[in-house]
Amino acid sequence: MKIVGFAILVSIGIAIVPSAAVTASENAPLFTVTISTPHETITMGDQVPIHVVLTNVSDHNIGIDRVPHPSQADCDYRIEVQGVNGNIAYDVYKTYEYTWNCSTALGLGKDPNVLYLKPGEKLEGDTTITKLFHTHLDNDGSTKKSMIFDFTYPGVYVVQFFRKTSIYSKDAEYVPSNKLIITVVAAEPSAAAPQ
């Protein structure tokens, strides 16, 4: 009796495993996001350029919403920086003002809103996250402009990009990139002038 019961349990387990594998592959993202920088150690005040590569890892063509402008990859990504002042997130999809600026820069209406990538095809873009600013009204009604990501303090910063599976769907999920570790070091004091 115990042998029959064990055999039934094994049969059920074998039947469940393939369906679980299919479900896992169906939920796998259709693309990956990889970020890199030429300088992982910088001096306070240096620029932080980021190169972003989106790769179609599926076995079919996929549509990518909005073609990133070559110099403005930040227009299509959520960016998070964890540093000495905590975690700061910048999400273009939730920032109406900057979305408008990006749309203007992208020239939507002339360029396609969707780009189709073949399996293995890549979409690359660049941004400099130390050049991202936001404007806001101060208490006195004046307009203030400030950096979104501040790399002016020595320490270790973790940078990660996220790309929505679709910008038009409320249920769309974010696909995370790898994490970059950026180390900021203090500037060396200038050498004394020769006598």
Distance CA 65, CA 177 (A): 17
Q: Which residue would you say has higher pLDDT here, 51 or 147?
A: 51
Does residue 20 sit within a domain? no
Cβ contact 29:18 at 8 Å: no
Binning pLDDT at 50, 70 and 90, where does residue 35 land? Answer: very high
> In the prediction, which pLDDT does 87 show?
78
Distance CA 36, CA 112 (A): 27
pLDDT tens column, 70-120: 557 777 788 899 987 777 877 765 554 444 456 444 444 445 567 889 999
Does residue 193 sit within a domain? no
Does residue 12 sit within a domain? no
3-state secondary structure at position 132: coil
Range of the domain at 95: 28-185
Distance CA 120, CA 185 (A): 38
Does residue 171 sit within a domain? yes
Does residue 8 sit within a domain? no
Radius of gyration of the chain (CA): 23
Does residue 39 sit within a domain? yes
Does residue 59 sit within a domain? yes
Domain count, the chain: 1
Element of type H or E holding 124? strand 122-128
Buried b (16+ CB within 10 A) or exposed e, 43-79: eeebebebebbbbbeeeeebebbbbbbeebbbbbbbb
Does residue 168 sit within a domain? yes
CATH code of the domain covering residue 94: 2.60.40.2970
Binning pLDDT at 50, 70 and 90, where does residue 161 land? Answer: very high
